[in-house]
Amino acid sequence: MKFSRARAPIVSLFGISLLLATSSSAQKKEKLARPFRMDAGVQSTRNPATGELVFRRVASDADAGNAPDIRAAIRVRVNLVEVGCNVFASDGTAARGLAQSDFHIFEDGVEQPITHFDASAEGASIALVLDASPSVLADSDTMKFAAQQLIANLSPVDEVAVVDFSEHTYLLLPFSRDRKLLEKAAAGVNVRKLFSDTGGSNIYRSVYLAANELFPGRTGRKAIILLTDGQDSGLGLNLDGEGIRPRRGDPPNRATFEDVVKALASQNIEIYAISTQNRPRVMTPAWLAAHQNVSLVTPAALSLGIPAYTDFLAELVRRAGGRLYFLNETGTIADAYRNIVQNLSAQYTLGFYPPAGQKPGWHSLRVKVAGHGSVRVVHRASYFAPADSQ
């Protein structure tokens, strides 16, 4: 299914703020607000000068005067680039207790002064994005159980939001530390309720909406945990290049895989994808690590026994940072919960302000840890500076 103008993703503070306002009182009663459809009433177009997608919500006159002002609740650091990283000792254990002075960060090969440092003292912002399309019906109970277990294992200071999707994307609960409400939201994901939500499974549009509507203004560790079968019908993706980036002749409002990656990279959001499909035999963690700096989107993937939908999930994780898990592997469910929580709890966040005159676009990143012997530093390889942030 192609994106239509009426269903394109947007940045919508109005819709999210409205649900936040109703959720504030609802949390006191331990009741969930009505799900908010995140992709309703939106328009999008591509800026011909920058090539970037621009989003607007078409609000009625009645809506315009009723949107609560939540700007005071948003934590904003203009243009600050944050880079989450994990440091591992030679035996594979997480290196904890490092200080800001132990780190050096480089943008495009030039060292930058670190102006923000967080050694996981602050809570993480985590969005659970759960597939509720008909194709995952057989795995829906397992997926909900997975979400419940993940919530139970997170730190009390972590804030979690819950989103589900089929054709459309629904916010069940905005960021919250109320574990009872979070458990209710995750338990309320019901594939059968969305049977009438026909038109396919818009996985990447839902990730895009979550990134752009839930995370703006948030600092520190940020992650989307995506539970899905990977079978997207929204972008028209294939391994020959269709749907990956804009092509001449495409409608100006059509979103692409590259737009999703840019949204994640510009806000330092990692992706932890848990697939309900079987792991392709060749796609071992060692194989993925060996291909960390090489695009996985190639027709050769099929000859290796990698389905296109799994290949794109792996590519999303490769570009944004994070990890890909497979729900059906023996022991993977418990390992996935433990590894995700451990990864987030041991993560360091470094922040710097880009040099004056920096050009929009992709910029390479490198983090070095000095004075602690042979350690392995894991972080995203680049970040995206949108044109409108300059």
Asked whether residue 384 is domain-assigned, the answer is: no
Question: Among the listed ranges 28-32, 126-130, 178-182, 205-209, which one has the minimum average pLDDT value?
Answer: 28-32
Asked whether residue 375 is domain-assigned, the answer is: no
φ, ψ for residue 53, nearest 5 deg: -80, 135
pLDDT for 77? 42
Concatenate the DSSP letters of all residues of 77-142 into one string. -TT-EEEEEEEE-TTS-B-----GGGEEEEETTEEE---EEESS-SPPEEEEEEE-SGGGGGGHHH
Q: What is the CATH number of the domain that holds 209?
A: 3.40.50.410
Asked if 323 contacts 317 with a C-beta cutoff of 8 angstroms, the reply is yes
Asked whether residue 197 is domain-assigned, the answer is: yes
Query: What is the C-alpha end-to-end distance of the chain, expressed in Å?
Result: 34
Containing H/E element for 326? strand 322-326
Mean pLDDT, rounded, for 33-38: 86
Mean pLDDT, rounded, for 271-281: 91
Mean pLDDT, rounded, for 96-118: 94
Asked whether residue 321 is domain-assigned, the answer is: yes
What distance lies between CA 163 and its chain's CA centroid?
12
Asked whether residue 13 is domain-assigned, the answer is: no
Q: At what angle do helices 140-153 and 179-187 cross, to 10 degrees?
A: 170
Asked whether residue 382 is domain-assigned, the answer is: no
Total number of domains in the chain: 1
Q: What is the pTM of this model?
A: 0.80
Question: Is residue 368 scored above 90 in pLDDT?
Answer: yes
Asked whether residue 274 is domain-assigned, the answer is: yes
Could you tell me the residue range of the domain that residue 165 belongs to? 121-344
Q: Nearest 5 degrees, angle CA 257-CA 127-CA 340?
A: 95
pLDDT for 30? 65
Asked whether residue 349 is domain-assigned, the answer is: no
- Give, as one character, the DSSP assignment of residue 389: G
Question: Is residue 345 scored above 80 in pLDDT?
Answer: yes
pLDDT for 11? 40
pLDDT tens profile 296-344: 999 999 999 999 999 999 999 999 988 898 877 866 666 777 778 888 8
**CA quadruple 323, 327, 333, 339: dihedral, nearest 10:** 0
84 token code pair: 């989450």
Mean pLDDT, rounded, for 351-372: 89
